Amino acid sequence: MTSRRRQLLPWLSAVILGVAVLHSSRAEAQASMSVLSAGLELQGYPAGVIVAGRASLAVSAADAIVVYLGYNATDRGDFGEHDDEEGGGVGFGAAIRHSFGAGGGGWHVGVRTDLWFLDIDWSDGGGTRVGMTDVTVLQPTARAGYAWLLSGKRLRLDATVALGAEINIRTEGEDVGEGLILLGGIGLSYRF
């Protein structure tokens, strides 16, 4: 990826999320009642797993703003720039979700952007060369999924799939892997 594109992608992600938030703010003003929910989610991808807490605010009958705080554990093996890369770190994110079903159930789509602060241990040549890289990763994704409303519509169980990119926006140490990412996840939330 060229340096110019790498510089533009974070701004493009921010603009997309900003437009979505502005749209939701307008919808919030029109909504007669907002619903708050909180829960946990687990996402897996070919090189790792993400565990996060989440909170969402329904700003209309179909739209919600969701915020996340979590931990990203990765074992990239040789998917990265080195023979073996593994590590992890904390991060946070925000999303806008649009549901097509009644009360937030059924099919849904959205966009999400996460920021991860990862410590990656790497090695080359069977361990003859080792090092550590601190990296800040911007992870914009487009998402789709299905939600089931349970227990009198207080519980929301959802399954999602997401496609996006991992973009290393700050690196201290040698370069480590970045690129396209495909995630699958499940989540459980309680509506207050």
Q: pLDDT digit string (tens) for 18-76?
A: 666 655 555 444 444 458 999 999 999 999 999 999 999 999 989 999 999 999 999 98
109's CB contacts (< 8 A; 6+ apart) are: 97, 98, 100, 142, 143, 144, 145
Average pLDDT, the chain: 88
Q: Can you give the pLDDT at residue 31? A: 44
The answer to whether domain 3-191 has CATH 2.40.160.20 is yes
Listed range (14-18, 57-61, 96-100, 141-145) with the worst mean pLDDT: 14-18
pLDDT per residue as tens digits for the range 159-181: 999 999 999 999 999 999 899 99
Does residue 139 contact residue 113 with C-beta atoms inside 8 Å? yes
